[in-house]
Every structure is written in C-alpha cells, then in structure tokens.
Chains A and B, each alone.
Chain A
Amino acid sequence: MSQEEIFEQVVKILTPYVKNQEALDGVAMSTHILDELKVNSARLVDVVLEFEDAFDIEIADEDVDSVETVGNAVELIASKLA
C-alpha cells in the first residue's frame, strides 16, 4: 500500500472525530491531530484502534506516544505494514 493510499485512509478514519472542519479541508502530512484538527485527546485511542482494524495491524501503547501529526500516523502504519 502506498503512502498516499494510507494517508487517504487515515484522513477518512479521522474525519468523524475532527472538530475543526476548516483544518480538515487543508489537511496535510504536517497537520497536528490534536492542536489543528481538534480531535479530543481522549478519543485518540479510538482513532488508533480504528487504524488497527482498517490496516489489520497491532499498535503498541508506546507507539501512540509518537502520533502527533497525520504524517506520524501514516509513517507508523507504513512501518507496521512493511
């Protein structure tokens, strides 16, 4: 799966959790999930669990700490799929 495909899927998963729709319109790899997209930090775990289901991967507790931006999520998923 290419990075672009992962990116699209990640954005699709994030969409229902996003509170700042304007930021979602211009979403990029550098977009901060909590600060810019305004995803509730308590819901970040639900998002990551959806990543696990959608990509059939397992993400460790420690891996979640590194997910700050959309790009971090894409890179983490790509590394699990590799």
Chain B
Amino acid sequence: MTSGPTGLPQRARLSLGVQRAVCIALSPLTTLAGYLVLRAWLRLRFVGTGELRRAYRRFRRANRGAPLLICGNHLTMIDSALIAYALGSPLWYVLHFASMPWNVPDRNVFAAGPWQRALTYAFKCLPIERGGSRLEVADALARFMHLLRRGEVGLIFPEGGRSRSGRVEVENAAYGVGRIVKSVPGCRVLCVYLRGDAQREYSSLPARGDTLRARIAWIEPKTDKRGLRGSLDVSRRILVRLAELEREHFDAVA
C-alpha cells in the first residue's frame, strides 16, 4: 500500500476524500439541521458571535491552507456543534466548507449504531474508541493529522472528556492533543472557551433557552521537552490558556 506525502496510506486518503465529498454534498442539509437543533429546538442564544466569526474568517482568509486545531473546554455532549456555530454561520460553512471543523467523537457514544454512524460521517466526524486498541487510536489520529496538514480544521477537547468539576481541569491534559500539535508543522491552536449562563457542571445538553458566551485566544504552543513529556507539556499549555479564558469569562459575568 502506498503512502502519500503526509504518510497516510492511499486507501485511507481515498476514504477521507470520499467522506469529504459526501459531507460537502450534504452540507446544506447538515448545517441547516444543526442550526435548527441549536436555535429552534434548544432555543440557545449566542452572545458576541459576530466578533468571533469575524476573527475566525480573518484568520482563515489570511492563512489559507494553514493547519488549525481548535481546542475547547468540554461541558456538554454537543460542544463541537456549539463551538462550530459560534465561529461560523451555517451559510458561511456551506460556502467555506474546509473551515467547518472535523471532530473525533467517542465511537461508543456517538457512532454505536448504523444511523449514528451515518450521522457522524455526514457531520465531518472521525469516531475514535476511547480506551480502545492503541493502534486503532493511532490510526484515527493519523487521519486527523493528515487532514490538518492539508489545511483543514480540526476540533478537539484537550481534557479528553467532559469536565466533572465544571471547570477547566489542567491536570487532566490528554497527551494526544500535544502530539497532534507537535506532529503537524506550523499548526496554530485556537482556544475556545464556551459556556452557557445556566451551565453549573457537565451535562448532556445545554439548558434549553440558555445564553452562551464564548472567548477565544490564538496560540502556537511550543515546548523544549521531547517525546511524551513534550506532548503532555503542549497539552497543558493549551489547557492553561483555556483556564485563563475561563477566569476572564467569570470576571466578565460577575
């Protein structure tokens, strides 16, 4: 099996290309469905999205083809959708499909059955089995890194799971995030702190009718450590920045 310049076997590259084409074809429907769930069904209100979306658009315009990893705090099971919506409107994503982030949800939760698998496929997801075979996890990470190297956007949660305390837990840094950043040359990180006013601790969904506020920070985390320690250090730096954004959030709403 041949490998491309990003080291991913041809078959895996082909499979990602097919998924990308399917996602593009379905994007008018998927973005509309996402919009209806967030705004009509959950009746969520987003504060300050205009500024965030402008900043995101500016970055994408000025850094065409640059790898970007969005790292968010994690409190609900639909944080990926919430963050994506905070950064771009459904119509903008249809027109700028590469700016809609790829996700790596837990396969056992989000892609257990055939319908869920189809949905995650259409919503730019690469399901990964948390705690599964190391080689399978490595394979999913390799696909994710391949996409970033090609200038796509990825979204990941550096805490590895929803924060049980309801606050950013720096000590729970998942080393895989640092590994991705280290392995993708020039990878920029967009830290996004997003929280609903009614969100006290972790939950499945945000409270219906909640008001969500987001803060962002661009970083290019570096480390002088090598190997695993380096990856862990990068992950921690990202979480430290997210914790700072969290402090700013609570200072602002106090």
Contact = CB atoms under 8 A, between A and B. Distances in A.
B183 interface: yes
Interface residues of B, number: 21
Interface string B85-124: 0000000000000000000000000000000000000000
Interface stretch (A2-10, A11-19, A22-30, A65-73): A65-73
Contacts of A54: none
A74 B228 CA distance: 18
A59 B228 contact: yes
B228 A45 contact: yes
* Most B CB within 10 A of own CB, among A41, A44, A49, A61: A61
B227 A60 contact: yes
A34 B134 CA distance: 10
A64 B134 contact: yes
Contacts of A34: 131
Contacts of B133: 68
Interface in B126-144: 130-135, 137-138
Interface stretch (B36-44, B59-67, B174-182): B174-182
Contacts of A48: 228
Contact of B172 (A42, A49, A61): A42
A21 B138 CA distance: 28
Interface of A: 34, 40-42, 44-45, 48-49, 52, 58-62, 64-68
